[in-house]
């Protein structure tokens, strides 16, 4: 529904998740564990030394298959590197369930939806993570 807020957090992290063929639940859990423990928030001295769990921030998890885009073959991206929608949805939902079991504040987008996402990037810090 247009204009409806599906998920929102205050201070925290926006996690864009892309499942690729061969990914499984172990990779999803490893990703969440890594994200929750990354020391990327400033401490009292301003040094990136605190994790999301340390600062009690929220985690907004959004599916984003376009992260698997391959632009090497021309001007139109190919998304063949992304998992099929059925596998992507299953892994996204597992990722969310696992995150919610590990962290008190987890919000989500809607899988496969055309969403408008607002972000205030404080830092800015953007870190691509790949787990295997």
- Between strands 106-108 and 58-63, the pairing is parallel
Q: How confident is the model at residue 124 (pLDDT cuts 50, 70, 90)?
A: confident
Q: Residue 2 pLDDT more than 80?
A: no
Residues 8, 60: contact at Cβ < 8 Å? Answer: yes
The full set of domain ranges for the chain reads 12-108
Cα–Cα distance for residue pair 94/88, rounded to 1 Å: 10
Catalytic site residue 64? yes
Question: From the candidates 27, 41, 64, 98, which is the catalytic residue?
Answer: 64
Fold that domain 12-108 belongs to in CATH: 3.50.80
Question: From the candidates 11, 65, 87, 116, which is the catalytic residue?
Answer: 65
Cα–Cα distance for residue pair 52/42, rounded to 1 Å: 10
- Look at 109 and 123; give whichever has higher pLDDT: 109
Instruction: Identify the weakest region by mean pLDDT among 64-78, 90-104, 116-130.
Output: 116-130
Q: In this predicted model, what pLDDT tens digit does every residue of 38-95 receive, in sequence order? A: 999 999 999 999 999 999 999 999 999 999 999 999 999 999 999 999 999 999 999 9
Residues 91, 30: contact at Cβ < 8 Å? Answer: no
Catalytic site residue 98? no
Catalytic site residue 65? yes
| pTM, to two decimals | 0.92
Q: How confident is the model at residue 132 (pLDDT cuts 50, 70, 90)?
A: confident
Mean pLDDT of the chain: 94
Which positions ≥6 away from 20 have C-beta within 8 Å? 68, 81, 82, 83
pLDDT of residue 1: 58
């Amino acid at each position: 529904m247009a204009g409806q807020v599906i998920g929102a957090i205050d201070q925290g992290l926006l996690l864009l998740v892309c499942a690729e063929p061969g990914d499984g639940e172990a990779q999803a859990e490893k990703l969440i564990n890594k994200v929750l423990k990354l020391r990327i928030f400033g401490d009292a001295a301003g040094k990136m030394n605190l994790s999301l769990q340390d600062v009690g921030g929220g985690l907004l998890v959004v599916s984003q298959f376009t992260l698997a885009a391959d632009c090497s073959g021309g001007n139109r991206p190919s998304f063949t590197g992304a998992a099929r929608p059925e596998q992507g949805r299953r892994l996204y939902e597992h990722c969310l369930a696992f995150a919610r079991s590990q962290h008190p504040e987890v919000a989500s987008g809607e899988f496969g939806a055309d969403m408008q996402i607002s972000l205030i990037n404080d830092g800015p810090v953007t870190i691509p993570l790949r787990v295997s």
